[in-house]
């Protein structure tokens, strides 16, 4: 845990709020309840539904190679993978990186995962059967498995990506970007950029997309934890496009509080990985800033343009 937050943590929720930090209760009770109608979660909780929505409004996503929705289909798995050396397997209704396997090569009959571990065709079949059973799905419901294109990092992020694919999380409130972080996969996170798996979060200046601070496992860091590369001076390529795509998807989803995850890919495009209707709050540590003031600023700006009653933040 970093100093800034450690000083605040023993504090009562009121003190955290005064420091401008949006807490879990505040997010759930003030923000999600007010701005995210329950019926809209179907657009974010299932990645295949999000992908369809993106396609319908011209937003790029990773190409879907195959969808497995019945156990009998795993018999033809090799055909579905189609001889590809690189791909990603994930649960449609997963979260937090659980059940996501990133394949980067083949060795004989086996698949090589990020980090070098191998997986046999049988192992991949078993993994997909686990996905179908709902082992990784939100709420434990039966699920579908997605086999999709592995996105590769933009050259400007290749070094700091260390063989994996960094992504950018943009949090939007009332469809305005309010906070952003670049997420860097680590050895511990097995190529996934989920902070709870040990990935690094680099807070970003919203105007420029350049790094302002970074966190890994709750600790403030200034270098990549695996490679030692300094993080100062890091910036996100295609920043304007990343913001534009995030706005477009948030508007299409219709939620007032949403996190959009975007990969600035090897060709310079902003490709959506997923949208999250309950984005986590660690982004505030990565930025060393609380969200409350930013939410209040958006309320003030939009209220001037005649809108619903703003939430009382302070
Ligand atoms: N198609 C992909 N190409 C490269 N990396 C990916 C791809 N899909 C997922 N990842 C990596 O795995 C992480 C988790 O995948 P994601 O689709 O966001 O599922 P979850 O909902 O579990 O977070 C991503 O943040 C990213 O780092
Ligand atoms: Mg994710």
| DSSP string for residues in 108-161 | TTEEEETTS-EE-HHHHHHHHHHHHHTTTSGGG----EEEEPPP-B-HHHHHHH
Tokens of 28: 């759930």
Does residue 212 register a pLDDT over 80? yes
Residue 314 CA to ligand 2 centre (angstroms): 31
DSSP secondary structure code for residue 311 in this structure: P
Residue 163 pLDDT: 84
| Burial class for 41, CB neighbours closer than 10 Å (0-12, 13-18, 19+) | middle
Is the shortest distance between the CB of 104 and ligand 1 below 6 Å? no
Residue 300 CA to ligand 2 centre (angstroms): 31
pLDDT band for 1, please (50, 70, 90 cuts): very low
Which residue among 86, 97, 149 has the greatest number of ligand 1 atoms within 8 angstroms of its CB, and so is best to mutate? 97
* 7 three-state secondary structure: helix
Fold of 3-60+152-303: D-amino Acid Aminotransferase; Chain A, domain 1 (3.30.470)
> What is the pTM for the complete model shown?
0.92
Q: What is the pLDDT of residues 165-178, one digit of tens each?
A: 999 999 999 999 99
Cβ contacts of 158 within 8 Å, gap of 6 or more? none
Say if 3-60+152-303 and 64-148 have the same CATH topology. Answer: no
Is the shortest distance between the CB of 88 and ligand 1 below 6 Å? yes
- Helix ranges (DSSP H) in the chain: 3-8, 13-18, 24-26, 33-35, 41-45, 47-56, 77-81, 121-133, 155-161, 239-253, 283-287, 292-303
Which residue among 49, 154, 165 has the greatest number of ligand 1 atoms within 8 angstroms of its CB, and so is best to mutate? 165
pLDDT band for 217, please (50, 70, 90 cuts): very high
Residue 238 CA to ligand 2 centre (angstroms): 20
Please check whether the domain covering 64-148 is classified as CATH 3.30.1490. Answer: yes
Pairwise pLDDT comparison (311 vs 237), residue with the higher score? 237
Q: Where are the domains of the chain?
A: 3-60+152-303, 64-148
Candidates 63, 60, 87; CA nearest to 270 is 60
Q: What is the pLDDT of residues 46-104, one digit of tens each?
A: 999 999 999 999 999 999 999 999 999 999 888 888 889 999 999 999 999 999 999 99
Candidates 171, 181, 66; CA nearest to 128 is 66
Considering every ligand atom, which ligand is closest to the CA of 47?
A: 1
């Amino acid at each position: 845990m970093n100093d800034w937050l450690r000083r605040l943590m023993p504090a009562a929720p009121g003190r955290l709020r005064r420091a401008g930090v949006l807490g879990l209760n505040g997010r759930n009770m003030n923000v999600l309840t007010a701005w995210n109608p329950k019926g809209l979660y179907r657009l974010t909780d299932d990645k295949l539904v999000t992908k369809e929505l993106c396609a319908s409004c011209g937003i790029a996503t990773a190409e879907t190679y195959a969808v497995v929705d019945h156990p009998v289909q795993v018999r033809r798995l090799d055909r579905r993978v189609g001889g590809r050396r690189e791909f990603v397997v994930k649960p449609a209704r997963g979260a937090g990186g659980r059940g996501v396997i990133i394949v980067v090569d083949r060795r004989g009959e086996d698949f090589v995962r990020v980090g070098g571990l191998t997986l046999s065709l049988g192992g991949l079949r078993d993994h997909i059967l686990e996905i179908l059973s709902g082992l990784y799905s939100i709420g434990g419901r039966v699920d579908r498995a997605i086999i999709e294109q592995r996105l590769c990092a933009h050259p400007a992020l290749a070094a700091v990506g260390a063989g994996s694919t960094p992504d950018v999380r943009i949090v939007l409130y009332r469809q305005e970007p309010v906070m952003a972080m670049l997420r860097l996969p680590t050895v511990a996170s097995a190529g996934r950029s989920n902070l709870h798996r040990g990935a690094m979060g680099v807070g970003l200046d919203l105007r420029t997309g350049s790094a302002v601070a970074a966190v890994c496992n709750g600790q403030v860091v200034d270098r990549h934890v695996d490679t030692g590369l300094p993080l100062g001076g890091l910036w996100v390529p295609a920043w304007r496009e990343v913001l534009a795509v995030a706005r477009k998807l948030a508007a299409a989803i219709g939620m007032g509080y949403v996190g959009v995850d975007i990969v600035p890919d090897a060709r310079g495009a902003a490709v959506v990985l997923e949208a999250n209707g309950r984005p986590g709050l660690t982004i505030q540590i990565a930025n060393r800033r609380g969200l409350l003031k930013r939410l209040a600023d958006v309320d003030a700006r939009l209220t001037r343009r005649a809108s619903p009653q703003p939430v009382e933040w302070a």
